[in-house]
Structure 1
Amino acid sequence: MVGRQGRVTGTVGPGLVGEVLVPVRGGAEAFLAYPVEPGERIEVGTLVVVVEYQPPRTVYVARAYA
């Protein structure tokens, strides 16, 4: 899971429980998401990379820079 890219579908930020869709097993699955950098806000539609995974459905993400 760590290192996979996904897209924000619910704003990720301080005081928020965001959501990201990550491609998994030929489909896409939704995960609860938090920013890896405290205080960072990541808007809907932003491409992110999973930095930490906490089973079963929580990830910490950072912006993916192409």
Structure 2
Amino acid sequence: MASSELRSRQRRLEPVESVPPTATVRHVDQLDTETLDYFYDAVENGRALPADGATNLEVGEIIVFNGYVRVERA
């Protein structure tokens, strides 16, 4: 698999100021243990989330943490 293909499948977290009424929103407490570990690592270390399938986070989803962060393609 090409590194560019892997990168396009990764996710990043992007802070947002407002939440559209149609957005899927979950509180950090609703994440499963493995996804929560990846989420905290991404927040604390500025890392991308792993490729599809490693977490149950979807592009465009909003996670409530110390504010709102949106899951984006890396």
Question: TM-score, normalised to structure 2's length?
Answer: 0.22
Question: TM-score, normalised to structure 1's length?
Answer: 0.23
Higher strand share: 1
Higher helix share: 2
Higher relative contact order (CA 8 A, sep 6+): 2
Of structures 1 and 2, the larger Rg is shown by 2
